[in-house]
Amino acid sequence: MKIISALGCMLLYGLVAGQLQIAAAEEIKVYSVAEGAFIMTETIHKTEAEWRRILTQEQYHILREKGTEPPFSGKYDQNHEQGVYRCAGCGLDLYSSKDKFNSGSGWPSFTAPVAAENITTKDDNSLFMTRTELLCARCGGHLGHVFDDGPPPTGMRHCINSAALVFVADK
């Protein structure tokens, strides 16, 4: 009887947790490059196990554990094709090749996202310095950091890990 009761509690807990996870999703406004307009979408919340199933080990380390790939090692640092860079975790449009520049840092760098609504920022005081962390607005994945040493027109350098991105070339 205790086993059945324990299983019932675990099932009930799982259902409640699932409902809480679904309830945690919220509607947000983001820019869709394909639509050429702002659209409404929901934030994405997954368990650690779900993220591990859908992401590569490197993507998981960067997006979910706030890791950083070594400079000059990412596949998009020297990518010069025209297109859109999307979040590797959820597919949200993040950056356009039109805003990409060679910063010499070893990471893909952009002057701005496709829309400010598509990213969020957070103070990052790790590694004995103060930086501004960039996160995907839909799934909360760590993308990289932003610095105020970029070129015009914004003067900003969004320094992004290649493994946090998926590139979709223009047709």
| DSSP state letters, 54-98 | HS-HHHHHHHHH---PPTT-STTTT----EEEEETTT--EEEEGG
With contact defined as beta carbons under 8 Å apart, do 160 and 108 qualify?
A: yes
Per-residue pLDDT averaged across 73-82, rounded? 97
With a cut of 50, say whether residue 34 has pLDDT above it. yes
Whole-Å CA distances, 79 to 2, 61, 69, 108: 60, 22, 16, 8
Task: Name residues whose C-beta falls within 8 Å of residue 85's C-beta, 6 or more positions apart in sequence.
Answer: 76, 93, 94, 95, 96, 97, 100, 108, 110, 160, 165, 166, 167, 168
With a cut of 70, say whether residue 23 has pLDDT above it. no
CATH code for the structural domain at 25-169: 2.170.150.20
CA distance 33 to 12: 41
Specify the pLDDT at position 39: 98
With contact defined as beta carbons under 8 Å apart, do 150 and 103 qualify?
A: yes
Task: Name residues whose C-beta falls within 8 Å of residue 94's C-beta, 6 or more positions apart in sequence.
Answer: 84, 85, 86, 87, 113, 114, 118, 119, 136, 143, 160, 165
With a cut of 50, say whether residue 17 has pLDDT above it. no
Specify the pLDDT at position 152: 96
Per-residue pLDDT averaged across 28-37, rounded? 98
With a cut of 60, say whether residue 12 has pLDDT above it. no
Count of beta carbons in the 10 Å neighbourhood of residue 122: 12
Specify the pLDDT at position 3: 44
Q: Domain map of the chain by residue range?
A: 25-169
With a cut of 70, say whether residue 22 has pLDDT above it. no
With a cut of 80, say whether residue 2 has pLDDT above it. no
Specify the pLDDT at position 60: 98
Specify the pLDDT at position 126: 87
Task: Give the pLDDT band of residue 7 (cuts 50, 70, 90).
Answer: very low
With a cut of 80, say whether residue 21 has pLDDT above it. no
Per residue in 109-131, pLDDT (tens digit) is: 999 999 999 999 999 998 888 99
Task: Give the amino acid at 81.
Answer: E
With a cut of 70, say whether residue 4 has pLDDT above it. no
| Catalytic positions, written as ranges | 159
